[in-house]
Amino acid sequence: MTTDKAPISDVEHSVIIRSVGIASFLLAGIFIALLFFQDNLAKLLGGYADEATIGLMLVGLWLVVSSTIRTAVNHAKGLETWKLILAGLLTGLIGSVLTTAFLIMFPKVSKSQNMAEVTGATGGLILATTLIAFIITLFVVVNIRVKSRALGNLLEFLIIGATIAGLVWFATK
């Protein structure tokens, strides 16, 4: 009786592919559901429905990306850091691509009148979602990999500072 075990790299790749795939569909579903219920939020919150929808989308992005990375770490011990960062990036990228593709194919799902403008800017939305997913990924990887609390706090502070500096640079360019 032989017990052939899969090589470690195959297991790692399988875990990453499954985690990213499931999380991307979940993220797209969350985004689509929030856009579908945006009119109901408008009745409840008035003029702040767009802001509430974006805020809930960011919370969903944070939860899904961080869960993807933590799942990959729990199921494949010893994953390299770059693979974790890649998993977070791919989750944000694929989730936003699936969302925009769905909304282009089925524009009536989003009941907002601004959807024509949103689907016209799909490249920017995909890029923005991926960059936000990258920032979230860096925070999660720092929390998982860095054992020293002081060093972890310093790295998080540097990530926040670099994000602010990047936004200021982008806004003034």
Residue type, 154: L
Q: Is the pLDDT confidence value at 1 over 90?
A: no
Q: What is the pLDDT of residue 135?
A: 95
Residues of the chain above pLDDT 90, percent? 52
The pLDDT of residue 96:
93
User: What pLDDT was estimated at residue 30?
Assistant: 95
The whole-number average pLDDT for the span 21-46 is 88
Query: Which of residues 120 and 162 earns the better pLDDT score?
Result: 162
> What burial class does residue 168 get, using C-beta atoms within 10 Å of its C-beta: 0-12 exposed, 13-18 middle, 19+ buried?
exposed
Q: State what percent of residues in the chain have pLDDT above 70.
A: 88
Q: What's the rounded Cα separation, in Å, for the pair 150 and 168?
A: 27
pLDDT tens digits, 83-139: 999 999 999 999 999 998 888 887 776 655 555 566 566 778 889 999 999 999 999
Mean pLDDT of the chain: 86
How far are the Cα atoms of 76, 84, 93, 149, 151 from residue 65, in angstroms, in the given order? 17, 10, 11, 22, 23
**Better-scored residue on pLDDT, 148 or 115:** 148
Q: Read off the pLDDT of residues 61-82 as tens digits, 9 standing for 90 and up.
A: 999 999 999 999 998 888 899 9
Q: Which residue matches tokens 């509430």?
A: 52
More confident of the two residues 70 and 13: 70
Evaluate the CA torsion angle 70, 31, 118, 114 in order and state its sign.
negative
Q: Which residue has the higher pLDDT, 64 or 35?
A: 64
Task: Check: CB of residue 89 under 8 Å from CB of residue 82.
Answer: no
